[in-house]
Structure 1
Amino acid sequence: MDTVRQGGLGTYDLAGKVAVVAGGSGAIGGATARRLAAAGATVVVGCRKEDDRIRKLVADLPGHGHWAAPLPVDDTEAIDHAASLVGQRHGAVHVLVNAAGTTRRIDHDDLDALDDDLFDEILRVNVRGVYSTIRAFRPLLVSGGDSVVVNVSSLSSETGKGSSIAYCASKAALDTMGKSLARVLAPEVRVIGVSPAAVDTGFVPGRSREAVLAQATRSPLRTVVDADDVAVSIMGVITQLRLTTGSVVLVDGGWHL
């Protein structure tokens, strides 16, 4: 008979844990790295390339032992190398946050503007990149024994509205893939998605701050979501939702209602 673990898990204590943030150079990734470090985790900031901005982010994180690792999620060989480096240094990973992503603002009725190359690029980064990252870090997450993967998704996965049709499709695929992986990686690893609505960052080229504010005005909570709001929600998923896996948590001010 399979072993059944005892409940009463309580809050997930991040002190002494190792957390990897893919897409740590972005607004949500950077905010999440700061929150994880403040909670006591040793943070590996995954980035496309280490530059002065990344070095400053790492240096400013509270605590000690943090470092940056090249982790371009569209390069499987580089992802595998990053996982190897983390394994050599730490031996296990307890938290993996997949915050890397890409998009471009294209009107949904302009099918010609969303050409094959751009469609493939968005899927390669937003879906395959997350899969490749989880696959590479799986042995380290299993070694952690009680680990969690958080995929940063989007409300666009449910509404089909967003910066482009390809972006919406990629986030819907990410959510479904998360369900599959949650089943595969249990019981050692939880897999949970966090889906914000429009976030007040410069993530979407061509989207103005006024457009973000307008969307917030039309949501029930009438609140502009910023990167740290998403980071706080990610922390809640990690530390509080101990018996949740394969689910997606909305962080949208009630926009879906």
Structure 2
Amino acid sequence: MEEIDFARLGPAKGTKVVVIGGHGGIGAALSSRAAEAGAEVVALDTRRAIEENGEIAGVVNAEIDVLDEASIAAAAATVRERWGEIDAMVYVSGVGDPDTPTLDYPVERWDKVHAVNLRGAFLATQAFVPLVSKKGTGSLIFIGSTVAVQPPPGLSAYSASKAGVVAFAKSVAKELAPDVRVNVVSPGITETAFLAGGSGQGQGPQEISGESWFGEEAYQRRLAMILQRRLANPDDIVAPTLFLLGPGARYITGQTLHVNGGLYLP
């Protein structure tokens, strides 16, 4: 059993972490913060995301396309060649769309949202779990969303895909216990380029504000629903994710950690 260092509740120095979707807003922050904390990190993302957002200092930057099984297998092979064994995989990759009524939602967009958010998580799990340490210290984390449990109108595709991620993670947690812990971190609305459709989707490196995305009136309505009265920034999501990667979370598995400023109260 891992010893808990109460002065350091994140991952131990030298922890080997693979971040899939490692060049988007949350993924890049996670990759950077984990490396700063002493973890060894491979940040995987599409070529477009890496080119648009730039390589991340202090980590291994490598390509993956979660829509392509061969690309996922190649990325896993690269990690295996470098490390042999890893301590953790975090699946951050995701794509969304502006609010669209279900009856108007194009099926090709529905399929892509589910392919990236849910099918990609499944394929990545199959490819990377064989590399994860089975000594009781291994960890998988999937990035979910508040809308998985509190779906608003217009986000049926995204909400359904993230609800699927939560159910998928619970099932995998039971299958891999007690050797590997599996959890979900579910952010609320976070100010990243994801609000424009997701990193690597052609938006380029840009700051997205709640006002510009929702419109001032709708933005103020959303703020009024959040107890903290602000949207999240990436570090708000990264800090609890790092905690779940560390020995301080050694007795937490099969859970969903909601990080939403009080937008959703289970």
Task: Extract unaligned runs of 5+ from structure 2.
Answer: 198-207
Task: Tell me the distance in 2 between the aligned counterparts of 1:150 and 1:140.
Answer: 15
Match for 1:100 among 75, 93, 109? 93
| 2:78 corresponds to | 85
Task: Tell me the distance in 2 between the aligned counterparts of 1:25 and 1:31.
Answer: 8
**Deviating more after overlay: 207-216 vs 114-123:** 207-216
| 2:150 corresponds to | 159
Matched-pair contact (CA < 8 Å) for 1:103–1:163: no
Q: Select the structure with the greater relative contact order (CA < 8 A; seq sep ≥ 6).
A: 2
| 1:111 corresponds to | 103
The equivalences for 1:119-198 within 5 A come to: 119-142=110-133, 145-161=136-152, 164-198=155-189
| 2:27 corresponds to | 29
| 1:14 corresponds to | 12
| 1:71 corresponds to | 64
Matched-pair contact (CA < 8 Å) for 2:11–2:242: no
What fraction of aligned residue pairs are identical, expressed as a percent? 30
Task: Tell me the distance in 1 between the aligned counterparts of 2:43 and 2:66.
Answer: 13
State the number of aligned residues: 243
Describe the SS at the equivalent of 1:142: coil
Task: Tell me the distance in 2 between the aligned counterparts of 1:107 and 1:177.
Answer: 25
Match for 1:216 among 215, 223, 235? 223
Shift of 1:13: 4.1
Shift of 1:178: 0.3
| 1:185-210 deviation digits (Å, cap 9, x = unpaired) | 12221111001111111212288512
Shift of 1:126: 0.3
| 1:10-53 deviation digits (Å, cap 9, x = unpaired) | 55642112111100110000000011101111110101114374
Alignment RMSD, CA only?
Answer: 2.1
Task: Tell me the distance in 1 between the aligned counterparts of 2:121 and 2:153.
Answer: 20
| 1:168-187 deviation digits (Å, cap 9, x = unpaired) | 00000000000001111122
Describe the SS at the equivalent of 1:149: strand
Task: Extract unaligned runs of 5+ from structure 1.
Answer: 1-5
| 1:256 corresponds to | 264
Q: Which amino acid aligns with 2:149?
A: E
Shift of 1:71: 1.4
| 1:227-247 deviation digits (Å, cap 9, x = unpaired) | 111111211222232111111
Matched-pair contact (CA < 8 Å) for 1:45–1:67: yes
